Amino acid sequence: EDDLKKVRVAVTILRRARDCRSVTTPLWRVPYEGQLRYKMSLARGQIKKLARQLTKLYKPIDSDNHKSPMGGGRLCPLDNVGPSPWIYGYRNKCEFAAGIDVQTSKPMIGFTVGTVKNRVQDGVSNVGTADNGGCVRVASAKGCPHIANPAIDVADAITRMLIDMESWGLNGGVVYDKVKTKGCMRMVIVRCSMLTGEVMVLLQVFPTDLTEEHQKMIEKGLIKACRECDEKWSREFSQQSKKGNDEKTNGYPPSPKFKAVTGLVQLHASLMELPDKTTRTKIVFGPGYLYEELLGVKFRISPTAFFQVNVGAAESLFSSVRKWLFEANNPPKSKKSEKSEEKNEGEGGQRLPVVLDVCCGTGAIGLLMAKYASKVFGLELVAA
């Protein structure tokens, strides 16, 4: 309990910090075992909260009589939080903001750590708030333990592109200003599969003050940045192949040969950050999507699609769910039949009659469970 209190205090302090790692991953200073204990305490708290809410709504439910036999919570059994096989460099999707570098006061692609107008109050810099009052201040993703190197490479390449764009004479500047609703670059989305090595890059720009010539220059800049990254990744893969796999990989995802397979430019004029009906997305090169793998199933991922950001952790989670589904329809038998069960797992009469994937999104979970069911139904309210 004392350790958990220390972790909670540390999380509160780190969330108030302006360090990029502390903003994006507040637990990065805490050993992984401590992170798991902290998350377990949060899970227990949520189960108890749910029990109280249900007790108020449905009086027949008595939370005191529904304690987990495992001691992990109420209303239902609660397993321990399972560790992820990937805890470093695992994130396959990063949404970077275009803003002002907190260190150099120059345009940069990174993670948001505040707004420019706060810089004077913090005593960090005297950047003129009259010119950049609506721009965000950003910090480099380098050093963030959960960010994959390919995403950092793309952010650096687009940052160099921003520096070049300063000579284009853009009305409102190269970085989008939320207050003045002027500027150009808003966001950079990078998707990279740790298993297939495919990388997708999307630039979101504010098109109001852009000419057709400027848009073409942005597209050419995107292609150039991706080619620079491809060359870097090719060199690194060759060097890694020569060294072999002797380096320590515990906690890290695989390191395939990464390649930018598609690039897109999104023209987004709305004041809201999320795309709407007026948003236009142009495929600059490639098919406009990439492939990701999860438990042997291949998924086609679009720029805005939701997908698990840590495939290693997702595989562990969904493997447990598939195991529960199989065990639910196949009660334990004698030890003699265990081997035959493993061979026939998911076949014929051993399948569940129906599996409902509620709030299914693109249906990833349902597809992964299809082997264990005769029928799978996905239910989703939000239109694709």
Token digits for 96?
């970077």
**C-alpha–C-alpha distance, residues 117 and 103, integer Å:** 15
Read off the DSSP letter of residue 148.
-
**C-alpha–C-alpha distance, residues 74 and 68, integer Å:** 5
**C-alpha–C-alpha distance, residues 377 and 361, integer Å:** 12
Beta pairing class for 93-101 and 107-115: antiparallel
Q: Is 380 annotated as a binding residue?
A: yes
Contact between 202 and 288 (Cβ < 8 Å): no
Token digits for 133?
């009052």
Helix or strand or coil: residue 84?
coil
Helix or strand or coil: residue 318?
helix
**C-alpha–C-alpha distance, residues 367 and 236, integer Å:** 35
**C-alpha–C-alpha distance, residues 362 and 364, integer Å:** 6
Strand partners, 201: 190, 263
R_g over Cα of the chain: 24
Q: Is 308 annotated as a binding residue?
A: yes
Cα-Cα end-to-end distance for the chain: 44
Backbone angles phi, psi at 147, to 5 degrees: -90, 130
What residues are designated binding site for S-adenosyl-L-methionine? 308, 380
What residues are designated binding site? 308, 380
